[in-house]
Each structure stands twice: as C-alpha cells, then as structure tokens.
Amino acid sequence: MITEQQNPNSTDIDLKSISEIVQIFHKEDRKTIEAVAAESDAIAQAVEMIVETFRNGGKLFYIGAGTSGRLGVLDASECPPTFRTEPEMVQGIIAGGDIALRNSVEGEEDKPESGAEAIRKHHLTQQDVIVGIASSGRTPYVLGALKEAHKIGAKTIFLSCVPPAADLHTYVDHFITPIVGPEIVTGSTRLKAGTATKLVLNMLTTISMIKLGKVYKNLMVDVKASNTKLVDRSIRIIQTVTGVDETVANTTLKKAEGSVKVAIVMLIKGVKRSEAVDLLDKHQGFLRPIIS
C-alpha cells in the first residue's frame, strides 16, 4: 500500500537538523495540496450529491476510525455553530464511539460488523449520504459501514488516499482519492493523509452550505451567536452588510433572536422579525434575492 511505503525524501530523517526536517515537511505538504487539487472534479461531484441530499431532507454522515474518524467528527461538530444547522444534519461516527476521540480504540476498526451496526444505530435511510473515510482504503469498520449503507439505499462516497480496489465499486457510488504518497514517518497517516482528509471535508460541508444559502458574499450569515466571540462576529457581519453602527446592529440582533440573517433583512427591508422570517422562507433562506 502507498500509505505504508517508505518515503525516500525522509530517509535518515533522524539525522537531520530541526530546520532540515521542517523543510521536508513543507516539501511533502505541498504534494498534499496538489493531490487534493487533482481530485477537484470528484470533490465537486460529491458536493452535488450532498447538496441534493440536503435539499431532499436527507442527512450527511461521516464514518471512520482513528484519525479519519476524528476528522469526520470534527467537521460535523463545526457545522451547527458555523452554519446554524441542526446537530442531526451532519453527523460524525468514529469506531469505538466518543471515547475514541481521546483514547485509541484500535481493535474496533478491524470489525466490519461494528461498522454495519453503527449504520443501523444511526438510522440511515435512502435519503441520506455517507462518506466513508479510510486513508489506507481498506479499514474493515468503514467498509462494513459502506456495505450496510448501500444495502439500505443511501448514497455512498469513499474518501481514501489510495486507488480504490475493484470490489469497492459494487457498493460505493463515488470515490475521492487524493494520492498523497508515502508519509514522512512511514505509515503515519495522521500526517499527509490526515491533512488531505481535512482539506476535502472542509470543502464538502462548506461548499454545500454555501449552496444552501448559508453564506452571503463570503460572510457567515447563518452563524449561531452562542458565545461572546460569535456575538461580536455577528454584529460585525450585520454592520458590513447594512452599514448601521454597532449599537443598532446589536439591538437588532437581539430583536432577531440571535439570527444574523433575520437581523439583516429587518434592517434592509425595514420590517419586523416575523416579516423577515417570512421573506427568508419565501426565498429558501437566501439573502441575495431579498437584498437585490
């Protein structure tokens, strides 16, 4: 497997100076960016699948083991505060459960039946899409999950850093395969493979949310103002779009019950909260046609 091969560029890395090792990392990480860029069409097609799923009322699931599982859980957990989504809309599943987020539960990734059970436990349906994440392309837990999801009728996407095996095509609908090459430390896929995975997941959810109207221009207009930092960000976004001062933005945000979008519509259109909500519902949550 590519992910288990030795990297000729990091041979005798233990004899290098710290500065030299840093440069090796830079050189290898650039290859990671190029590998992800080479999968642009595959990533775009996956986003189209996910957007269609969301528009039809379905959910997105990530499933993986170890680093792959942790990255899926991370991306899923960032969606509610960033895009004001319901927690069920994007979910991350990791082999071994939540305890595996902090402590390695190694044996669990070798059990395809555990992956299948996780799919049943999370009640996937034909409306949903699942992204199986396995840098090596062969994690039994992930493959078991994908087989079960396919059996149910959900859309299946496989993200790995090796070319897919022929038999995967029988139960995987779509592949994303950034070939990052051997790791700097042989087999340590938390490095380049992990970086590639994070880059791909960033795009899958963020672009999907943009296409659902949760971003106006490049502003996070569906941010959930759940702490001081996010309240401050919400106020700045309202000011940027509407041109009002900080006091007016803050007051309107409170009247809008913390919704940046609603506050913007209230100010731009000079309407009450209920009317702003109706306008957003009429335009499927998109700000641009209302402001235009």
Active site residues: 78, 109
Chain position carrying tokens 């902090």? 102
Beta bridge partners of 224: 259
Cα distance between residue 260 and residue 239, in whole Å? 10
Long-range contacts at 279-283 (CB < 8 A, ≥ 24 apart): 283/213
Residues 241, 262: Cα–Cα separation, whole Å: 12
Strand partners, 62: 92, 131
Cα–Cα–Cα angle for 144, 147, 152, rounded to 5 degrees: 125
Instruction: Kindly give the pairing relationship between strand 60-64 and strand 129-133.
Output: parallel
